[in-house]
Amino acid sequence: MSTPHISAEPGDFAPAVLMPGDPRRAERMAAQLMPDARKVTDVRGIGGYTGTYQGKPLSIMASGMGQPSLSIYATELYRFFGVERIIRVGTCGGLSPDVEPGDVVVAIGAHTDSSLNDALCPGIHFSATASWNLLKAAVDAAGDDASVKVAPVVSRDRFYDNPPEQVQRLAELGTLGVEMEAAALYGLAAQLHKEALAVLTVSDHLLDPSKDMSAEDRETKFQTALSLAVAAALS
């Protein structure tokens, strides 16, 4: 049964979905991981692919940019297509001297300036956190890799012109990265009794833009994050 944003049928998606933001990255990930991948949806240019990785079923589908866009796709996947876990595989901006471009942040939780999670429990400031078993699987797969950090991130609605004093304070509170999707994903997983995780490559740094990755690097230097996301998805 197709939904307004996913033109697939029941059974077309695996229980585990990797979710980058960029549709082109989703296509490349599917080709890299799953030689038998087939496209199961392509509404508005957002492709979804299903195949097998090391004998286990796996799907990959883009989310687009921002929490509202991800919320649409994740809700439909969780509610109508039998998806049990979604692992966001994306990038984030570094907020702290404790991370460098190329590091990977496994997001244990996600602060946000969005109102999307406000309705989950009115009167309570909801804590958007990762699913423990997915988090543990990713951390176990990282082993002793010092470039992999486990820490909160912040999910912003605005890409530009966020208050610099907030950036500083978030870093002081142990927040390592800024991105635009994880808090909504974690909130949806809690609401729908599903599982979620975000594994993010630090692509640029708010404290030192001279360290920012090039556009080419952003597309190629995410293999560590991808391997950890796969480990979580198939755990």
Residue 23's H or E segment, with its range, is helix 23-33
The DSSP result for 66-88, as a single string, is: SHHHHHHHHHHHHHHS---EEEE
SS3 state at 127:
coil
Catalytic annotation present for 204: yes
- Asked if 139 contacts 106 with a C-beta cutoff of 8 angstroms, the reply is yes
By the 10 Å C-beta count (0-12 exposed, 13-18 middle, 19+ buried), 44 is classed as: exposed
Within 20-147, strands assigned E span 38-43, 46-53, 56-61, 85-94, 104-112
Place of tokens 């999307």: 116
CB atoms within 10 A of CB 140: 12
- Asked if 225 contacts 88 with a C-beta cutoff of 8 angstroms, the reply is no
Angstrom distance (rounded) from CA 6 to CA 80: 10
CA 165 to chain centre: 26
Select which of 204, 208, 212, 217 is catalytic. 204
As annotated, the active-site residues are 204
